[in-house]
Amino acid sequence: MTSTASSLVRPHGGGPLQPLLLTGAALTAEKARAAGLPLVTISSREAGDLIMLGIGGFTPLAGFMGKADWQGVCDTMHLANGLFWPIPVTLSTDEQTAGSIALGSDVALFDPERGEVLATMTVTEKYGIDKAHECQTVFKTTDAAHPGVKMVMEQGAVNLAGPVRVLSDGGFPAEYGELYHTPAEARALFEAKGWKTVAAFQTRNPMHRSHEHLVKIAIETMDGVLIHSLLGNLKPGDIPADVRSKAISALIDQYFVKDTVVQSGYPLDMRYAGPREALLHALFRQNYGCSHLIVGRDHAGVGDFYGPFDAQKIFEEIPKGALETQPLKIDWTFWSFRTGGMASARTCPGDAKDHLLISGTKLRKMLSEGEDVPVEFSRPEVLAILREYYAGLDESQKVKVELKGHSAR
């Protein structure tokens, strides 16, 4: 629970954090009850959403959305009760399974990847959706080449809605230890440090020079920065979380002033929804206690589905007061050969020929193909860890990295 005397931003909705993970005797009893309930198998994305519900990251949601909430979120980015929410949080199943479940009954939500029941749910609603409508409103495309569209189109035909009781933390605390914090733990950490203004830096990549530059810009104006790395599933070719965390730790140890940043992770899968996902990133960072979200080029985008700064512009399109967490907008960043350091389009004169544009996709491509990486691209301690990872991959594990959209510039 969050103290009313907290100097941090309030959880979304203005009330206390609402973690849905049971503990103690209640957890033991519900696990025993779950053993006798019908099983509904869930996807990796739904499992990540459940774990976020469990830790309070999706405060104030009480479970998976019903049709009115789904429709409102798609069309206006608001729940039926008027609260701002930018992306549907839904659970689907096949028609046969849905037909066997009576409204008002309880089911156990089974995660096949972990081989465990993550939650129980009281099914209050069963409904079909227009998947193409969700894709067009949320992702701005119905192109099956978009990984988020593919994810939605492969969902079951029927959505199940209702409150959940979460039974597992997904193993994240055990696997990541001090690199994993719940919203309540992050808030306690920030308050212990005396931080009031905290910028979150969202990343699914090891940090290269542009990332380092973005975080250091934020450090200049904030009390601290939360380097918040995605621990859920990524797309093929992305660098796994354990390698990424090790590389980020090396960067922090060597190139940041002590106690200016906190590295942590969160359990969601990427949706690659670009602008709408930037809003979701800001929303749950508000629950973590962050006053700002760093929004740079092509935040949460994929390929060339979004403009490089669409994720910044969308914050101007939502109602004032929809979110307490605000964007920290930063322009194109690059290595300037003219000035001999990192710069941005707002701070550095000169022609494009004097600029080395740095992207995680370019870095992955060079490393996966065994190319030399320019010293301006990434710190040597980071590159050593990444080269070791790529050297350990066999041919079947290698994914061809293609430069598309803004990363190809």
C-alpha 199/C-alpha 296 separation (Å) is 13
C-alpha 42/C-alpha 47 separation (Å) is 7
Domain spans of the chain, in order of start: 24-170, 176-266+272-408
Give CATH for domain 24-170: 3.10.400.10
Please give the structure tokens belonging to residue 372: 């030399």
**CB-CB contact of 96 with 88 (8 Å):** no
Predicted TM-score of the model (pTM): 0.93
**CB-CB contact of 107 with 38 (8 Å):** yes
Please give the structure tokens belonging to residue 92: 């689907």
**CB-CB contact of 235 with 147 (8 Å):** yes
Mean pLDDT in consecutive groups of 10 residues from the start of the chain, 409 residues: 72 98 98 98 96 98 98 98 98 98 98 97 98 97 95 97 98 92 98 98 89 95 96 76 92 96 93 94 98 88 87 95 96 89 86 86 86 91 94 76 55
C-alpha 77/C-alpha 80 separation (Å) is 10
The reply to whether 287 belongs to the active site is: no
375 in helix, strand or coil?
coil
Res 403: pLDDT? 60
Please give the structure tokens belonging to residue 18: 């609402």
What are the residue ranges of helices labelled H in 228-322?
241-255, 275-288, 310-313
C-alpha 293/C-alpha 286 separation (Å) is 9
User: What is the length of the chain?
Assistant: 409
Please give the structure tokens belonging to residue 298: 């092509």
Res 160: pLDDT? 98
DSSP string, 283-308: HHHHHHT-SEEEE-TTTT--TTSS-T
Q: Which of 165, 187, 204, 379 is catalytic?
A: 204
C-alpha 332/C-alpha 358 separation (Å) is 10
**CB-CB contact of 262 with 227 (8 Å):** yes
Res 2: pLDDT? 44
Per the DSSP assignment, residues forming a β-bridge with 158 are 93
Res 1: pLDDT? 44
C-alpha 209/C-alpha 333 separation (Å) is 9
389: enclosing H helix or E strand: helix 380-391
Query: Pairing state of beta strands 116-122 and 106-111?
Result: antiparallel
| C-beta neighbour count of 142 within 10 angstroms | 15
Q: Say which residues have a Cβ less than 8 Å from residue 379's Cβ, sequence separation at least 6.
A: 209, 212, 250, 251, 254, 255
Q: Which of 159, 205, 233, 287 is catalytic?
A: 205
24-170 against 176-266+272-408: fold identical:
no
Q: What kind of architecture, by CATH, is found in domain 176-266+272-408?
A: 3-Layer(aba) Sandwich (3.40)
DSSP string, 2-68: --TT-SSPPPTTSS-----B--HHHHHHHHHHHTTSPEEE--HHHHHHHHHHHHTTTTT--EE--HH
DSSP string, 127-175: E---HHHHHHHHTS---TTSHHHHHHHTS-SEEEEEEEEE---TTHHHH
